[in-house]
Protein backbone atom coordinates (compact mmCIF):
# COMPACT_ATOMS: atom_id res chain seq x y z
CA UNK A 1 0.00 0.00 0.00
CA UNK A 2 1.06 3.61 -0.40
CA UNK A 3 0.05 6.93 1.11
CA UNK A 4 1.25 10.48 0.61
CA UNK A 5 3.25 11.86 3.54
CA UNK A 6 5.06 15.21 3.44
CA UNK A 7 4.63 15.33 -0.34
CA UNK A 8 6.08 11.89 -1.14
CA UNK A 9 4.62 8.39 -1.56
CA UNK A 10 5.46 6.12 1.35
CA UNK A 11 5.06 2.35 0.83
CA UNK A 12 3.94 0.23 3.74
CA UNK A 13 2.19 -2.94 4.87
CA UNK A 14 -0.62 -2.71 7.40
CA UNK A 15 -1.69 -6.08 8.79
CA UNK A 16 -3.37 -7.57 11.82
CA UNK A 17 -6.36 -6.49 13.89
CA UNK A 18 -7.16 -2.79 13.43
CA UNK A 19 -8.55 -2.55 16.99
CA UNK A 20 -5.23 -3.60 18.59
CA UNK A 21 -2.38 -1.20 19.45
CA UNK A 22 -0.23 -0.40 16.42
CA UNK A 23 3.31 -1.73 16.21
CA UNK A 24 5.41 0.13 13.61
CA UNK A 25 8.66 -1.35 12.30
CA UNK A 26 11.50 0.96 11.18
CA UNK A 27 14.29 -0.67 9.20
CA UNK A 28 18.02 0.03 9.23
CA UNK A 29 20.36 1.46 6.59
CA UNK A 30 20.45 0.70 3.68
CA UNK A 31 17.65 -1.80 3.90
CA UNK A 32 13.89 -1.80 3.52
CA UNK A 33 10.73 -3.11 5.16
CA UNK A 34 11.23 -6.63 3.80
CA UNK A 35 13.85 -7.15 6.55
CA UNK A 36 10.95 -7.43 9.04
CA UNK A 37 9.10 -10.26 7.23
CA UNK A 38 9.58 -12.84 10.01
CA UNK A 39 8.64 -10.35 12.73
CA UNK A 40 5.56 -9.10 10.85
CA UNK A 41 4.32 -12.69 10.52
CA UNK A 42 5.05 -13.44 14.20
CA UNK A 43 3.37 -10.28 15.58
CA UNK A 44 0.34 -9.80 13.35
CA UNK A 45 -1.85 -11.89 15.65
CA UNK A 46 -0.95 -9.79 18.68
CA UNK A 47 -0.94 -6.21 17.33
CA UNK A 48 -1.86 -4.13 14.32
CA UNK A 49 1.47 -4.35 12.48
CA UNK A 50 2.84 -1.69 10.14
CA UNK A 51 6.15 -1.96 8.32
CA UNK A 52 7.12 0.90 6.01
CA UNK A 53 10.00 1.93 3.80
CA UNK A 54 11.75 5.09 4.99
CA UNK A 55 11.94 7.74 2.26
CA UNK A 56 14.33 6.78 -0.51
CA UNK A 57 14.48 3.15 0.65
CA UNK A 58 12.61 0.16 -0.77
CA UNK A 59 9.53 1.35 -2.65
CA UNK A 60 9.12 4.77 -1.01
CA UNK A 61 9.89 7.93 -2.92
CA UNK A 62 12.84 10.06 -1.85
CA UNK A 63 11.65 13.62 -2.58
CA UNK A 64 14.01 16.51 -3.22
CA UNK A 65 15.04 17.53 0.30
CA UNK A 66 18.29 16.43 1.94
CA UNK A 67 17.60 13.53 4.30
CA UNK A 68 17.92 14.06 8.03
CA UNK A 69 16.82 12.20 11.16
CA UNK A 70 14.30 15.00 11.94
CA UNK A 71 12.85 14.62 8.41
CA UNK A 72 12.49 10.85 8.96
CA UNK A 73 10.71 11.68 12.24
CA UNK A 74 8.30 13.98 10.39
CA UNK A 75 7.59 11.16 7.93
CA UNK A 76 6.90 8.73 10.78
CA UNK A 77 4.47 11.14 12.45
CA UNK A 78 2.87 11.93 9.09
CA UNK A 79 2.38 8.23 8.40
CA UNK A 80 0.84 7.75 11.85
CA UNK A 81 -1.54 10.64 11.15
CA UNK A 82 -2.44 9.27 7.71
CA UNK A 83 -3.19 5.85 9.24
CA UNK A 84 -5.06 7.45 12.19
CA UNK A 85 -2.67 6.06 14.77
CA UNK A 86 -2.61 8.23 17.84
CA UNK A 87 -0.03 6.24 19.85
CA UNK A 88 2.26 3.50 18.54
CA UNK A 89 4.79 0.98 19.70
CA UNK A 90 7.97 1.33 17.63
CA UNK A 91 10.32 -1.55 16.81
CA UNK A 92 13.36 0.04 15.20
CA UNK A 93 16.76 -1.24 14.15
CA UNK A 94 19.93 0.83 13.94
CA UNK A 95 19.20 3.91 11.75
CA UNK A 96 15.52 3.21 12.44
CA UNK A 97 16.48 3.40 16.11
CA UNK A 98 18.03 6.85 15.61
CA UNK A 99 14.63 7.92 14.24
CA UNK A 100 12.68 6.21 17.04
CA UNK A 101 14.83 7.76 19.79
CA UNK A 102 14.48 11.26 18.30
CA UNK A 103 10.73 10.81 17.78
CA UNK A 104 10.21 9.57 21.36
CA UNK A 105 12.38 12.34 22.77
CA UNK A 106 10.39 15.05 20.96
CA UNK A 107 6.90 13.54 20.95
CA UNK A 108 6.70 11.07 23.85
CA UNK A 109 2.90 11.39 23.93
CA UNK A 110 2.71 9.63 20.51
CA UNK A 111 4.28 6.38 21.72
CA UNK A 112 3.34 3.49 24.02
CA UNK A 113 6.63 1.63 24.09
CA UNK A 114 9.88 1.21 22.15
CA UNK A 115 11.85 -1.79 20.99
CA UNK A 116 15.37 -0.55 20.19
CA UNK A 117 17.38 -3.06 18.20
CA UNK A 118 21.11 -2.89 17.47
CA UNK A 119 21.14 0.87 17.83
CA UNK A 120 22.69 3.57 19.97
CA UNK A 121 22.01 7.03 21.36
CA UNK A 122 25.47 8.46 20.62
CA UNK A 123 26.19 10.67 17.60
CA UNK A 124 29.01 9.73 15.23
CA UNK A 125 32.51 10.18 16.59
CA UNK A 126 34.98 12.29 14.55
CA UNK A 127 36.35 9.03 13.15
CA UNK A 128 32.83 7.82 12.32
CA UNK A 129 32.06 11.10 10.54
CA UNK A 130 35.27 10.84 8.52
CA UNK A 131 34.37 7.26 7.58
CA UNK A 132 30.95 8.40 6.35
CA UNK A 133 32.72 10.82 3.97
CA UNK A 134 35.02 8.04 2.79
CA UNK A 135 31.98 5.83 2.13
CA UNK A 136 30.26 8.62 0.17
CA UNK A 137 33.39 9.15 -1.90
CA UNK A 138 33.73 5.40 -2.53
CA UNK A 139 30.09 5.11 -3.69
CA UNK A 140 30.45 8.11 -5.99
CA UNK A 141 33.71 6.79 -7.42
CA UNK A 142 33.31 3.01 -7.54
CA UNK A 143 29.54 2.45 -7.40
CA UNK A 144 27.35 0.46 -5.02
CA UNK A 145 28.66 -3.12 -5.44
CA UNK A 146 32.03 -2.74 -3.62
CA UNK A 147 30.35 -0.64 -0.92
CA UNK A 148 27.77 -3.41 -0.45
CA UNK A 149 30.46 -6.09 -0.01
CA UNK A 150 32.33 -4.00 2.56
CA UNK A 151 29.19 -3.21 4.50
CA UNK A 152 27.95 -6.82 4.47
CA UNK A 153 31.11 -7.85 6.31
CA UNK A 154 30.24 -5.44 9.12
CA UNK A 155 26.50 -6.07 9.25
CA UNK A 156 26.51 -9.84 9.67
CA UNK A 157 28.22 -12.18 12.13
CA UNK A 158 30.80 -14.63 10.80
CA UNK A 159 28.55 -17.57 11.57
CA UNK A 160 25.78 -16.01 9.47
CA UNK A 161 28.11 -16.10 6.46
CA UNK A 162 28.90 -19.74 7.24
CA UNK A 163 25.40 -20.99 8.02
CA UNK A 164 22.86 -18.70 6.34
CA UNK A 165 23.83 -17.94 2.72
CA UNK A 166 20.20 -17.05 1.95
CA UNK A 167 20.25 -14.27 4.56
CA UNK A 168 23.55 -12.93 3.18
CA UNK A 169 22.09 -12.86 -0.35
CA UNK A 170 18.88 -11.16 0.80
CA UNK A 171 20.81 -8.40 2.59
CA UNK A 172 23.16 -7.94 -0.39
CA UNK A 173 20.12 -7.62 -2.67
CA UNK A 174 18.58 -4.95 -0.40
CA UNK A 175 21.80 -2.90 -0.44
CA UNK A 176 22.54 -3.18 -4.15
CA UNK A 177 18.98 -2.25 -5.09
CA UNK A 178 19.44 1.20 -3.48
CA UNK A 179 20.14 4.08 -5.86
CA UNK A 180 23.61 5.55 -5.12
CA UNK A 181 22.23 9.06 -4.49
CA UNK A 182 19.90 7.69 -1.78
CA UNK A 183 22.74 5.86 -0.07
CA UNK A 184 24.69 9.12 -0.01
CA UNK A 185 21.77 11.11 1.39
CA UNK A 186 21.22 8.60 4.21
CA UNK A 187 24.93 8.52 5.04
CA UNK A 188 24.86 12.32 5.31
CA UNK A 189 21.75 12.18 7.54
CA UNK A 190 23.42 9.73 9.95
CA UNK A 191 26.65 11.75 9.94
CA UNK A 192 24.77 14.91 10.92
CA UNK A 193 22.58 13.32 13.58
CA UNK A 194 22.46 14.63 17.15
CA UNK A 195 23.04 12.45 20.15
CA UNK A 196 19.98 11.45 22.18
CA UNK A 197 21.83 10.01 25.21
CA UNK A 198 21.45 13.08 27.39
CA UNK A 199 17.63 12.88 27.24
CA UNK A 200 17.25 9.16 27.93
CA UNK A 201 16.68 9.64 31.66
CA UNK A 202 13.48 11.55 30.81
CA UNK A 203 12.07 8.83 28.57
CA UNK A 204 9.61 7.06 30.83
CA UNK A 205 8.20 4.71 28.18
CA UNK A 206 8.76 0.98 28.60
CA UNK A 207 11.70 -0.02 26.39
CA UNK A 208 12.99 -3.38 25.25
CA UNK A 209 16.58 -3.29 24.00
CA UNK A 210 17.75 -6.11 21.74
CA UNK A 211 21.30 -6.49 20.48
CA UNK A 212 23.23 -9.15 18.61
CA UNK A 213 26.11 -10.46 20.72
CA UNK A 214 28.50 -9.93 17.78
CA UNK A 215 27.18 -6.54 16.64
CA UNK A 216 30.18 -4.53 15.43
CA UNK A 217 28.27 -1.40 14.33
CA UNK A 218 26.24 -0.73 17.51
CA UNK A 219 28.04 -3.08 19.91
CA UNK A 220 26.42 -4.52 23.06
CA UNK A 221 28.19 -1.85 25.18
CA UNK A 222 26.06 0.82 23.48
CA UNK A 223 22.93 -1.11 24.48
CA UNK A 224 24.17 -1.55 28.06
CA UNK A 225 24.67 2.22 28.20
CA UNK A 226 21.05 2.86 27.11
CA UNK A 227 19.79 0.19 29.50
CA UNK A 228 21.50 1.93 32.42
CA UNK A 229 20.29 5.40 31.38
CA UNK A 230 16.64 4.57 30.65
CA UNK A 231 14.23 4.45 33.61
CA UNK A 232 12.16 1.46 32.35
CA UNK A 233 14.27 -0.70 30.09
CA UNK A 234 15.10 -4.36 29.77
CA UNK A 235 17.95 -5.72 27.72
CA UNK A 236 18.19 -9.01 25.84
CA UNK A 237 21.37 -10.07 24.05
CA UNK A 238 20.65 -12.16 20.94
CA UNK A 239 23.09 -15.04 20.60
CA UNK A 240 24.67 -15.96 17.28
CA UNK A 241 23.80 -12.61 15.71
CA UNK A 242 25.64 -9.54 14.48
CA UNK A 243 24.09 -6.16 13.67
CA UNK A 244 20.98 -7.57 11.96
CA UNK A 245 19.82 -9.61 14.94
CA UNK A 246 16.22 -9.97 13.73
CA UNK A 247 17.42 -11.63 10.50
CA UNK A 248 20.33 -13.60 11.93
CA UNK A 249 18.52 -15.19 14.88
CA UNK A 250 14.81 -14.59 14.28
CA UNK A 251 13.69 -17.25 16.78
CA UNK A 252 15.46 -15.64 19.77
CA UNK A 253 14.56 -12.16 18.55
CA UNK A 254 10.87 -13.00 18.12
CA UNK A 255 10.66 -14.77 21.49
CA UNK A 256 11.87 -11.62 23.28
CA UNK A 257 9.71 -9.33 21.14
CA UNK A 258 6.51 -11.35 21.60
CA UNK A 259 7.02 -11.57 25.34
CA UNK A 260 7.29 -7.76 25.49
CA UNK A 261 4.23 -7.32 23.26
CA UNK A 262 2.11 -9.61 25.44
CA UNK A 263 1.93 -6.69 27.85
CA UNK A 264 2.05 -3.76 25.46
CA UNK A 265 -0.30 -4.97 22.70
CA UNK A 266 -2.85 -6.33 25.17
Q: Which residues bind ligand MLT (CB under 6 A)?
A: 28-29, 94-95, 190, 217, 243
Pairing of strands 48-52, 8-15: antiparallel
Question: What is d(CA 166, CA 164) in angstroms, rounded to the nearest whole number?
Answer: 5
- The minimum distance between CB 190 and ligand MLT, in angstroms, equals 5
Residue 36 or 46 with smaller CB distance to ligand MLT: 36
Contacts of 57 (CB under 8 A, 6+ apart): 27, 29, 30, 31, 32, 178, 182, 186
Residue 48 or 193 with smaller CB distance to ligand MLT: 193
- The minimum distance between CB 265 and ligand MLT, in angstroms, equals 25
Residue 135 or 205 with smaller CB distance to ligand MLT: 135
Residue 5 or 190 with smaller CB distance to ligand MLT: 190
Helix 95-106 / helix 180-191 crossing angle, nearest 10 deg? 50
- The minimum distance between CB 259 and ligand MLT, in angstroms, equals 24
Question: What is d(CA 45, CA 60) in angstroms, rounded to the nearest whole number?
Answer: 26
Instruction: Please list the alpha-helical segments (H only) found in the chain.
Output: 37-43, 69-82, 95-106, 126-142, 144-155, 158-163, 165-176, 180-191, 220-229, 245-248, 250-264
- The minimum distance between CB 123 and ligand MLT, in angstroms, equals 10
Helix 69-82 / helix 180-191 crossing angle, nearest 10 deg? 110
- For residue 144, give Cα distances in angstroms to 30, 149, 161, 164, 171: 11, 9, 20, 23, 13
Question: What is d(CA 213, CA 160) in angstroms, rounded to the nearest whole number?
Answer: 13
Task: List the end-to-end C-alpha distance of the chain, in Å, as a whole number.
Answer: 26
Residue 23 or 217 with smaller CB distance to ligand MLT: 217
Residue 17 or 146 with smaller CB distance to ligand MLT: 146
- The minimum distance between CB 199 and ligand MLT, in angstroms, equals 19
- The minimum distance between CB 95 and ligand MLT, in angstroms, equals 3
Amino acid sequence: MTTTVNGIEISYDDLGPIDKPALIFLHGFPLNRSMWKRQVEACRGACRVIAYDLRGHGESESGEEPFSIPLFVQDLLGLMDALRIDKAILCALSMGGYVALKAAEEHPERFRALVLCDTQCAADTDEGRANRLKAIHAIETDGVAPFAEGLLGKLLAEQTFEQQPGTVDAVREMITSMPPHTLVRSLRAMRERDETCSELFQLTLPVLILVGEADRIAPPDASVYMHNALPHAELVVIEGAGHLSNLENPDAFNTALLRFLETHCA
